[in-house]
Amino acid sequence: MTARAVTLSNDGVTVQIDDARGTFTVTDREADRVWRPDPWLNWAGVLNVKKGDQYIWWNLSAAQDIRIIKHGDQAVEIVYENEPGTSEKSGWRVRTKVELLPDEAAFSINLLEVKVSGGCWASSLQYPIRPFSLKTDVDRGAAVIPFWQGLVIPSYIFPMNGGRFCMWDDAQHQAGAQGELRYYNWDGLTMPWFGTHDQRSAVMAVVPYDGSIAMQWIANYNNSDYIAKNEFRRSKYPRIVSLTPVWRVNEVTPETQLTYHVLPGGNHVTMAKRYRRISKENGLFVSLKEKAQKNPDVAKLKGAIYTGIYGGYPHYVNLPGMAFTFDQLDGMVRDMHDELGVDHAFIHAWGTFSNYAPVMWPISEELGGEKKLKRVVDRVKDYGWLYSSYHSFVSLLEHDPNFNIDLAPKDDQGRPLLRGRWKAVDEDRWADLAKATLPKEMAVIGQNADVTDIAFTGKVDEGGRRLADYLATTGLVLGTERGNEWLVPQYCVFEGLVAAYRQHALIRYSHWAPLFNLVYHDAVVNYGKIQDPNQLTNAHTGDYYVKSLRAMLHGDGPMVFFAPYEYEGVRPYIKFAAKTLGPLHERTAFEELVDHAFLSPDFLVQTSRFGDGTHVTVNMGPTPFGQDDDAMPPYGFRVVRPDGNAITGRFQHRAVVDGEEIDF
């Protein structure tokens, strides 16, 4: 039947569809929170179209005909249609389906049809547009985005350092205060969900794993830059925080589904925990405890200091000033154990082969040969540690004297496609290259782990999955650069799924939150990014103090990454990790990260709780917080063990001038 207006309702949520504009009003019934449609223009959505070289867009709410067709009590079909000859001079039709989920405060949206005429091509649909928005400094809440480890964008002004406030506030009045992310690529969504919340209610969108529905974010912006430049006036729209689903029209099918979950009283933790349930239902979650039952070496990750020793490889073979001999490598391993008190470590040696990637063989005679490297590996294993040499089966470096252009993919005329050097090998060849060399290495040195670099940093096709499946047959403890959600069932270590180390527009507006770890902490061990070693300072992620405090809070493993000539300088960092960071990680590594909260108005004092009852509270700023026994000193931490005993401490800068010590 056809109706002029429709209300869908169950015990948890009510969805009202406006008969004139096709917009949604959603009510969280338990929280009595009404989420109204697009606060800028009250539009249902925008269809983005290309005609020749011209890009145009059509407002769904301005359609000549909007029809709501009811399918039972729990679903409707909405048709937005313009006949040819209307103001756009091209005909178009968009059909969607909205359906309540049974026994849950949730509803799904499917895009059933997009049809355009008049020589037009539909590229994307923003639908619903700017839903569940928060008005800046009116609605106190945040957008929640799984970008790298995860972040939140507050919808209100909060205290912060004056210089940083200048940059933060200015950034929200610029065109860069909006952008788009997809699941999954280097700078995309690391999990296929996102949401907004205020102090009463949260709404979380879950999108498909194939990346066919992207997300446009708006960070306390009112489109002022566009309006000033194109309409020569100031914007009258409210500043908002908003997350809009963006349907890639040529990638979706009628079965492609977007699901909104309404979470009364929810926040970033509630959303992550809801997705954790979804991950388990979809078979993506396999715990570290389960993995350790199949491979006891996995248990060696508890408290293990990821020690990346960079010998200039894979950039160069035996690079002067950077390369290490196997005798030197053995000396560092012995010193870590005997002098620095390291009980648990993961040694990752970058530079043990005489060939460039992707041919990881033979072991370099110039550096000491097979027997001396095996001596190192045997020692590492005798200590109860893990060892992997560096591996990449996907790279082609132009200065390689054995550069093999035949490994590159080919175009439809058989010509090699030479793309970026780090992921340049034809994906269908990756697994074969690994099979050709890795068994030889395992037979000679007997390593117990593997870290394969680069291959899984972004979206892969069947060739990449074949490589992952092959590596999973080796019996090694598997790790990879950055990590990718679909690897969680097979992999145990992600190197770098932490705060993003490179500039990205989102970083200017947000605070890091452990979203990935709230879902997967007890399924994969996360370490810092090698391009942003914990002992070095980065403008986006902080100095050693901040990065160590964040690792304690998030439950990440301790890490150092260094060239051999730097070893003497990093020894104190390794010793501190062995004394403080490692034992904490040993206790929590296989435990769920149960909860996380921001305690201070400036977001710098935070707390987290693990499944065994361990509580971690940190102050990542230079200002004391709290009073008396609960006071947190600058750059301080408090770890409360399950038995109630506490460990407290702080990081502190010190200057020594002519023998005088000044602490600050």
The sign of the torsion formed by the CA atoms of 638, 640, 644, 648 equals negative
β-sheet bridge partners, residue 305: 345
* CA dist list (Å): 28 to 70, 131, 403, 500: 22, 14, 60, 34
State pLDDT tens for residues 61-84: 999 999 999 999 999 999 999 987
| Whether residue 506 has pLDDT greater than 90 | no
Phi first, then psi: give them for residue 647, nearest 5 degrees. -115, 125
Q: Residue-wise over 23-36: b if at least 16 C-beta within 10 A, else e? A: bbebbbbbbebebe
State pLDDT tens for residues 334-383: 999 999 999 999 999 999 999 999 999 999 999 999 999 999 999 999 99
Q: How many helices (H) and strands (E) does the chain have?
A: 12, 37
Q: Residue 79: which of 106, 115, 129 has the closest Cα?
A: 115
| pLDDT score, position 1 | 42
For residues 292 and 298, the answer to whether their CB atoms sit within 8 Å is: yes
| Whether residue 2 has pLDDT greater than 50 | no
Quick count: other Cβ atoms within 10 Å of Cβ 507?
20
First-last CA distance in the chain: 73
Complete domains list, the chain, with CATH = 2-281 (2.70.98), 288-589 (3.20.20.80), 598-663 (no CATH)
State pLDDT tens for residues 291-325: 999 999 999 999 999 999 999 999 999 999 999 99
Candidate from 421-425, 503-507, 602-606 with smallest mean pLDDT: 503-507
| Whether residue 9 has pLDDT greater than 50 | yes
β-sheet bridge partners, residue 381: none
- Span 531-547, mean pLDDT? 87
| Whether residue 5 has pLDDT greater than 80 | no
For residues 349 and 322, the answer to whether their CB atoms sit within 8 Å is: no
| Whether residue 185 has pLDDT greater than 80 | no
- Span 20-36, mean pLDDT? 97
- Orientation of helix 567-576 relative to helix 326-338, angle to 10°: 30
pLDDT category at 532 given cuts 50, 70, 90 is: confident
- Span 411-427, mean pLDDT? 94
353 vs 174: CA distance, rounded Å: 49
523 vs 290: CA distance, rounded Å: 9
* CA dist list (Å): 20 to 25, 64, 67, 79, 238: 13, 10, 9, 12, 23
In the block, tokens 């370099």 appear at: 364
Higher pLDDT, 527 or 172: 527
Mean pLDDT of the chain, nearest integer = 94
In the block, tokens 């996102």 appear at: 194
* pTM of the complete model: 0.96
State pLDDT tens for residues 574-619: 999 999 999 999 999 999 999 999 999 999 999 999 999 999 999 9
